């Protein structure tokens, strides 16, 4: 497939692996974090970590939108879905994320009208088709998906659609990164930057990482050669004693981001004072809610939600996985009590979650190693 296959060329992958090896100080251990769940998925799917020398370790970051949703927010969604006359819409992954007692899929089995959609525009279409029903969209995601929610709400307002609202769980990537960098239990040498988020926000928001924390960032595409090249670029910076934000993904990421998308987001959203992240706790100004001009579409204003903080199950170590403190297979319930079919934690639900990615692809490599 044009524009895809050339980024999956195995021979070029071997060449890049050789260049990575040549760049290393053999006496040093390198710990690099890929921020985005999309990268985690590609790393395991294409066996990129198998191509890397033993002293280059990839650590998974908090950039999977489903994984960071805390149980209390799932409970809020379920409570809204149980209201008479409500059609509750969300992305497919969200259906299987456990709340404190059960999932949205269970709520559907109990009779709630919960429907999977592929985009917020699908939810708006359902609202148009069902003017006598209240249609609610459970919005999740980083700056990558927030513009589509914002544009949908603008359209709803322009069309005068009044039976549509949104539970807004959109989050922003910089505050959790800062929280991670402040964490004493994590030593990182550099970051593979989140290419999708950067298509919207550009490279500038990540300047604080080299400026304040002295770590290089390379914004990366998602194909295997993109990721290998990004790792090489980070190692080159480290070897040269440089520390900056570089863009490996200029075919998609403009330096300034998508100004139109940023403008629409600024119109429709405002920062929440604080928001709870799964495993990371409350982080100030790390999430979005609807601005005053769009408050009429805020489902949290329209319906009663419990709004209660719920502690993760004792066995769940998603927080440590999301902070890169442990690897998925180090969680005590990985692959036994927690599997994609019966997930205890969020990281096993979404394909972008580190546990699901590792369960689906990486465990085979470890099983081979063990033989």
Instruction: Verify binding: residue 237, ligand SF4, rule CB under 6 A.
Output: no
Residue 142, both tokens: 């980083």
Beta-strand ranges (E) seen in 278-364 are 281-284, 288-290
Q: How many residues does the chain have?
A: 371
Instruction: Verify binding: residue 318, ligand SF4, rule CB under 6 A.
Output: yes
Apex 348 CA angle, 346 and 354, nearest 5: 100
Tell which one of 39, 317, 323, 352 touches ligand SF4 (CB under 6 A).
317
Instruction: Quote the least distance from Cβ 356 to ligand SF4, whole Å.
Output: 8
Task: Give dist(CA 154, CA 195) in Å, integer.
Answer: 26
Instruction: Verify binding: residue 104, ligand SF4, rule CB under 6 A.
Output: no
Instruction: Quote the least distance from Cβ 12 to ligand SF4, whole Å.
Output: 33
Instruction: Verify binding: residue 66, ligand SF4, rule CB under 6 A.
Output: no
- Closer Cβ to ligand SF4, 177 or 331, answer by number: 331
- Closer Cβ to ligand SF4, 264 or 347, answer by number: 347
x/- track of binding to ligand SF4 for residues 319-358 (CB under 6 A): --x------x--x-xx---x----xxx-xx------x---
- Give long-range contacts, CB 8 A cutoff, 24+ apart: 106-114: 107/78, 107/81, 107/82, 108/81, 110/82, 112/78, 112/81, 112/82, 112/86, 112/88, 113/81, 113/86, 113/87, 113/88, 114/81, 114/88, 114/89, 114/90
Instruction: Quote the least distance from Cβ 74 to ligand SF4, whole Å.
Output: 14
Instruction: Verify binding: residue 80, ligand SF4, rule CB under 6 A.
Output: no
Please name the residues in contact with 85: beta carbons below 8 A apart, sequence gap of 6 or more. 132, 133, 134
Total binding residues for ligand SF4 by CB under 6 A?
15
- Closer Cβ to ligand SF4, 94 or 338, answer by number: 338
Instruction: Quote the least distance from Cβ 335 to ligand SF4, whole Å.
Output: 7
Residue nearest to ligand SF4 (CB): 345
Please name the residues in contact with 292: beta carbons below 8 A apart, sequence gap of 6 or more. 270
Instruction: Quote the least distance from Cβ 105 to ligand SF4, whole Å.
Output: 17
**Lookup result for tokens 């600024």:** 266
Task: Give dist(CA 232, CA 218) in Å, integer.
Answer: 10
Stretch near ligand SF4 under the rule CB under 6 A, chosen from 129-137, 154-162, 181-189, 311-319 = 311-319
Task: Give dist(CA 363, CA 371) in Å, integer.
Answer: 13
Task: Give dist(CA 250, CA 123) in Å, integer.
Answer: 33
- Closer Cβ to ligand SF4, 36 or 356, answer by number: 356
Residues at the interface with ligand SF4 (CB under 6 A): 316-318, 321, 328, 331, 333-334, 338, 343-345, 347-348, 355
């Amino acid at each position: 497939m044009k524009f895809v296959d050339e980024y999956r060329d195995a021979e070029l992958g071997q060449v890049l692996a050789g260049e990575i090896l040549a760049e290393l100080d053999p006496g040093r251990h390198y710990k690099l974090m890929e921020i985005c769940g999309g990268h985690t998925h590609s790393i395991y799917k294409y066996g990129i970590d198998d191509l890397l020398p033993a002293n280059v370790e990839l650590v998974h970051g908090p950039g999977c939108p489903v994984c960071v949703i805390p149980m209390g927010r799932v409970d809020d969604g379920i409570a809204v879905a149980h209201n008479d006359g409500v059609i509750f819409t969300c992305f497919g992954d969200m259906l299987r994320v456990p709340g404190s007692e059960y999932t949205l899929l269970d709520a559907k089995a109990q009779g709630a009208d919960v429907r999977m959609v592929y985009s917020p525009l699908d939810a708006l279409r359902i609202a148009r088709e069902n003017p006598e029903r209240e249609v609610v969209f459970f919005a999740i995601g980083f700056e990558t998906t927030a513009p589509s929610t914002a544009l949908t709400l603008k359209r709803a307002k322009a069309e005068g659609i009044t039976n549509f609202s949104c539970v807004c769980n959109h989050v922003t990537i910089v505050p959790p990164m800062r929280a991670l960098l402040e964490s004493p239990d994590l030593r990182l040498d550099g970051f593979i930057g989140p290419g999708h988020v950067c298509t919207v926000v550009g490279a500038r928001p990540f300047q604080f990482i080299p400026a304040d924390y002295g770590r290089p960032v390379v914004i990366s595409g998602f194909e295997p050669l993109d990721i290998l090249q990004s790792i090489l670029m980070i190692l080159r910076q480290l070897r040269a004693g440089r520390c900056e934000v570089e863009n490996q993904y200029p075919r998609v990421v403009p330096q300034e981001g998508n100004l139109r998308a940023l403008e629409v987001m600024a119109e429709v959203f405002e920062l929440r004072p604080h928001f709870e992240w799964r495993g990371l706790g409350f982080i100030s100004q790390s999430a979005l809610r609807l601005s005053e001009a769009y408050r009429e579409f805020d489902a949290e204003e329209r319906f009663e939600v419990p709004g209660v903080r719920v502690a993760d199950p004792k066995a769940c170590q998603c927080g440590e996985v999301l902070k890169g403190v442990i690897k998925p297979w180090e969680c005590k319930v990985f692959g036994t009590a927690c599997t994609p079919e019966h997930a205890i934690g969020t990281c096993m639900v979404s394909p972008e979650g580190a546990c699901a990615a590792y369960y689906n692809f990486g465990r085979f490599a470890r099983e081979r190693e063990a033989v």
